C-alpha cells in the first residue's frame, strides 16, 4: 500500500454503553489506506462512546496515533511524536485536565509492551484486531491501568465495530474505502505485514454487500476495496460456491448508485482468470491496477520469496493489458535488498522499461527485525541504495510524466469529488486515479461528467467540460 499521512475527523454519532460525552479525540494516521480506513472505524467506535473528533490537537482529551511499521523510518516517527505528546501531557496534567495517549496500528501490534516501557506516558496500546475494545481500554486506563491489548481476535473485529458513516469532513464523500480482506500469508522476506496484521482473513460477502449498499445510500459513487492482499480475498458465494475477488466485483457492480470500483493492494500470484475477466467485462472496474513487483531480478525475487519471476510478471501484465487495453499500471519497488548487485538492479530498470508504469512507489530496503531478510548476508551500503533509488525514481518519474502527457487531448469520464482551489472549480478523479481540475458547480459533486483534458500540472491535470 502507498504511504501517506492523513488526519481523520469523521462525524459519526451513535450512542451506547457508559459514554464519555464531550471528550474530544484527535487521530493521526500514518501509513497505508488500511490505516486510513481503520482510523475512521476507531473514530466511529469512539463516537459511540461519546467522543467527538477534532482536527486540533490542542483541543483533544485523547490523542491516538495509528501507526505504521513497514519501514524503520515509519516506526521512528511514532517515537518522536510520542516525545512531543509526553510534554503536552505533563502540561495538561499540571492544569488538572485529562490527556490520554493511545498507540494503535502496526507498531502497537509489533512492539506491544515495549511501547509503554519506552514511553510510560502512553495510556493505551491497541492492535489492529481489537479496535472495537478501544472504549473499554480507555475506561480501564482512566482507572490507572496501563492497557496493552494486541490479541488476535480477527473474527470479532469486523462485526463489533459500529457501522461506518460516509461523510468524512466537510464535503459529502463520493469515494470510500471498504476493507474486504486483512492480513497476509505470503511472507515476503522483507516484510513485517504477516507478523503485524496476521494471516489472511476475508470478510463474508453479505457483510461487504451490506456495507457497500449503505455507502451507496449515503451518496458514495466510487468504492475502493481494501486488503493487504486484496486479490487473495475468498469467501462462499450465495450457493456455497467458492468466490474470489473477481466474483465479488461482479456482485458489487450490481449495486444501484455505485458507478466505479477499484481495489488495492494486489499480489501477482493472486491475479486469477476470473479477476482478469472482470477487468475485461466490467466498464465500472476502473482501468488502474496497483500490482507491486518489488524487483526485476529473478535472483532477488527468489530471495524475497515473491513466488514469481520477472517473466511471469510481464506475461501477466500482457494478459491484463489484452483484457483491458486502457489499463494504467502502478507498482512498488525495493532497491538494495540484501545481495542485490548492480546487474540485479539493472534488471529492475529493464523490467520498468518493459512494463511502463503510470505511477509507482519506490523504497530503499529497510531491514526489519524479525523478518528473514534481516538475517541475510551482504546488506547493501546506504550510499549504493540511495544512488540506485535516484536512478530508479528518475526513470519512474519520466514514465509518470509521459503517461500524464498522453492524457492531454483525451475525453474522459470525471467523477466530481470536492471543491477545487478556486471558487467555481471542482476537483475530480479520472479513471486512472489522477486529480483533475475543472470548472463546475458545488451542486455537481458526485456527478460523473465528460471532460477533455487540456493540460498537465505538477500533481494534477486540467480539463474543460466536453
Residues that bind ligand 5AD (CB under 6 A): 1, 70-71, 190-191, 292, 294, 332, 334, 363, 365-366, 368
Phi, psi of 432 (to 5 degrees): -100, 25
Q: Which does 229 bind (CB under 5 to 8 A by kind): ligand 5AD, ligand SF4, none?
A: ligand SF4
The two most distant CA atoms of the chain are separated, in Å, by: 66
Q: Which is nearer to ligand SF4, 54 or 264 (CB)?
A: 264
Cα 14 from Cα 37, distance rounded (Å): 18
| CA-wise closest residue to 43 among 59, 58, 29, 57 | 29
Task: Count other C-beta atoms under 10 Å from residue 349's C-beta.
Answer: 17
Q: Which is nearer to ligand SF4, 110 or 436 (CB)?
A: 110
Q: Which does 1 bind (CB under 5 to 8 A by kind): ligand 5AD, ligand SF4, none?
A: ligand 5AD
Smallest separation (angstroms) from ligand 5AD to the CB of 367? 7
Q: Which is nearer to ligand SF4, 50 or 372 (CB)?
A: 372
Residue given cell 513466488 in the structure block: 307
Smallest separation (angstroms) from ligand SF4 to the CB of 316? 15
SS3 breakdown of the chain: % helix, strand, coil, rounded to 5?
40, 25, 40
Candidates 36-44, 79-87, 95-103, 180-188; binding stretch for ligand SF4 (CB under 6 A): 180-188
Q: Which does 228 bind (CB under 5 to 8 A by kind): ligand 5AD, ligand SF4, none?
A: ligand SF4
Q: Which does 37 bind (CB under 5 to 8 A by kind): ligand 5AD, ligand SF4, none?
A: none
| CA-wise closest residue to 232 among 192, 282, 280, 197 | 197
Q: Which does 245 bind (CB under 5 to 8 A by kind): ligand 5AD, ligand SF4, none?
A: none
* DSSP annotation of 294: B
Residue number, nearest CB to ligand 5AD: 332
| CA-wise closest residue to 410 among 439, 432, 440 | 432
457: its cell numbers = 500540472
- Nearest-Å Rg of the Cα atoms of the chain is 22
Q: Which is nearer to ligand 5AD, 70 or 103 (CB)?
A: 70
Residues 287-306 that bind ligand SF4 (CB under 6 A): none
192: its cell numbers = 513485517
Q: Which is nearer to ligand 5AD, 355 or 463 (CB)?
A: 355
Candidates 3-11, 114-122, 190-198, 431-439; binding stretch for ligand SF4 (CB under 6 A): 190-198
10 Å CB burial of residue 342 (0-12, 13-18, 19+) is exposed
Cα 125 from Cα 130, distance rounded (Å): 10
Smallest separation (angstroms) from ligand 5AD to the CB of 228? 9
Asked if residues 27 and 39 have their Cβ atoms less than 8 Å apart, the reply is yes
Smallest separation (angstroms) from ligand 5AD to the CB of 129? 20
Cα 105 from Cα 222, distance rounded (Å): 26
Which residues lie below 8 Å from residue 213, measured CB to CB, with a gap of 6+?
255
Cα 342 from Cα 384, distance rounded (Å): 9
Candidates 97-105, 186-194, 421-429, 442-450; binding stretch for ligand SF4 (CB under 6 A): 186-194
Site string for ligand SF4, 241-280 (x = CB under 6 A): --------------------------x-------------
Q: Which does 385 bind (CB under 5 to 8 A by kind): ligand SF4, ligand 5AD, none?
A: none
Angle (CA) 355-361-363 rounded to 5° is 115
228: its cell numbers = 493487504
Residues 208-237 that bind ligand SF4 (CB under 6 A): 228-229
Cα 322 from Cα 300, distance rounded (Å): 28
Q: Per rule CB under 6 A, is residue 186 in the interface with ligand SF4?
A: yes
Q: Is 287 helix (H, G, I), strand (E, B) or coil?
A: coil
Smallest separation (angstroms) from ligand SF4 to the CB of 230? 10
Smallest separation (angstroms) from ligand SF4 to the CB of 13? 34
Q: Which does 187 bind (CB under 5 to 8 A by kind): ligand 5AD, ligand SF4, none?
A: ligand SF4
Q: Name which position in 193, 335, 412, 427 contacts ligand SF4 (CB under 6 A).
A: 193
- Tally the C-alpha atoms within 13 A of residue 320's C-alpha that lie toward its C-beta: 24
Smallest separation (angstroms) from ligand 5AD to the CB of 329? 14
Binding residues (CB under 6 A) for ligand SF4: these are 184, 186-188, 191, 193-194, 228-229, 267
Amino acid at each position: 500500500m502507498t504511504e501517506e499521512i492523513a488526519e481523520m475527523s469523521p462525524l459519526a454519532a451513535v450512542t451506547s454503553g457508559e459514554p464519555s460525552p464531550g471528550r474530544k479525540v484527535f487521530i493521526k494516521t500514518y501509513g497505508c489506506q488500511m490505516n486510513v480506513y481503520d482510523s475512521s472505524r476507531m473514530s466511529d467506535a469512539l463516537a459511540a462512546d461519546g467522543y467527538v473528533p477534532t482536527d486540533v490537537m490542542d483541543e483533544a482529551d485523547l490523542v491516538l496515533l495509528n501507526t505504521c511499521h513497514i519501514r524503520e523510518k515509519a516506526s521512528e516517527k511514532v517515537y518522536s511524536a510520542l516525545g512531543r505528546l509526553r510534554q503536552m501531557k505533563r502540561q495538561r496534567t499540571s492544569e488538572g485536565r485529562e490527556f490520554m495517549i493511545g498507540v494503535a496500528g502496526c507498531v502497537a501490534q509489533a512492539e506491544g509492551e515495549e511501547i509503554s516501557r519506552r514511553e510510560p506516558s502512553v495510556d493505551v496500546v491497541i492492535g489492529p484486531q481489537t479496535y472495537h475494545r478501544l472504549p473499554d481500554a480507555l475506561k480501564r486506563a482512566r482507572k490507572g491501568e496501563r492497557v496493552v491489548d494486541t490479541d488476535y481476535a480477527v473474527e470479532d473485529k469486523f462485526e463489533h465495530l459500529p457501522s461506518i458513516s460516509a461523510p468524512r469532513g466537510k464535503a459529502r464523500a463520493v469515494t470510500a474505502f471498504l476493507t474486504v480482506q486483512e492480513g497476509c500469508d505470503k511472507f515476503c522476506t522483507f516484510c513485517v505485514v504477516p507478523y503485524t496484521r496476521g494471516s489472511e482473513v476475508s470478510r463474508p460477502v453479505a457483510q461487504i454487500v451490506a456495507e457497500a449498499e449503505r455507502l451507496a445510500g449515503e451518496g458514495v459513487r466510487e468504492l475502493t476495496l481494501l486488503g493487504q492482499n486484496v486479490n487473495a480475498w475468498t469467501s462462499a458465494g450465495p450457493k456455497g460456491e467458492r468466490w474470489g475477488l473477481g466474483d465479488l466485483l461482479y456482485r458489487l457492480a450490481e449495486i444501484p448508485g455505485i458507478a466505479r470500483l477499484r481495489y488495492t493492494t494486489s499480489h501477482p500470484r493472486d491475479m486469477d482468470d476470473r479477476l482478469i475477466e472482470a477487468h475485461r467485462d466490467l466498464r465500472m472496474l476502473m482501468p488502474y491496477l496497483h500490482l507491486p513487483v518489488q524487483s526485476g531480478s529473478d535472483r532477488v525475487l527468489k530471495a524475497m520469496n515473491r513466488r514469481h519471476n520477472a517473466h511471469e510478471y510481464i506475461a501477466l501484465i500482457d494478459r491484463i493489458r489484452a483484457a483491458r487495453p486502457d489499463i494504467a499500471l502502478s507498482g512498488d519497488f525495493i532497491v538494495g535488498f540484501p545481495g542485490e548487485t548492480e546487474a540485479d538492479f539493472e534488471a529492475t530498470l529493464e523490467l520498468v522499461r518493459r512494463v511502463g508504469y503510470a505511477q509507482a512507489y519506490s523504497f530503499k530496503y529497510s531491514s526489519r527485525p524479525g523478518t528473514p531478510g534481516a538475517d541475510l548476508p551482504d546488506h547493501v551500503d546506504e550510499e549504493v541504495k540511495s544512488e540506485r533509488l535516484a536512478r530508479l525514481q528518475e526513470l519512474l518519474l519520466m514514465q509518470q510524466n509521459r503517461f500524464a502527457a498522453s492524457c492531454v487531448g483525451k475525453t474522459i469520464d470525471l467523477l466530481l469529488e470536492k471543491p477545487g482551489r478556486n471558487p467555481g472549480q471542482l476537483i475530480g478523479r479520472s479513471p486512472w486515479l489522477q486529480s483533475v481540475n475543472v470548472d463546475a458547480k458545488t451542486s455537481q459533486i458526485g456527478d460523473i461528467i465528460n471532460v477533455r483534458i487540456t493540460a498537465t500540472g505538477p500533481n494534477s491535470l486540467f480539463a474543460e467540460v466536453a
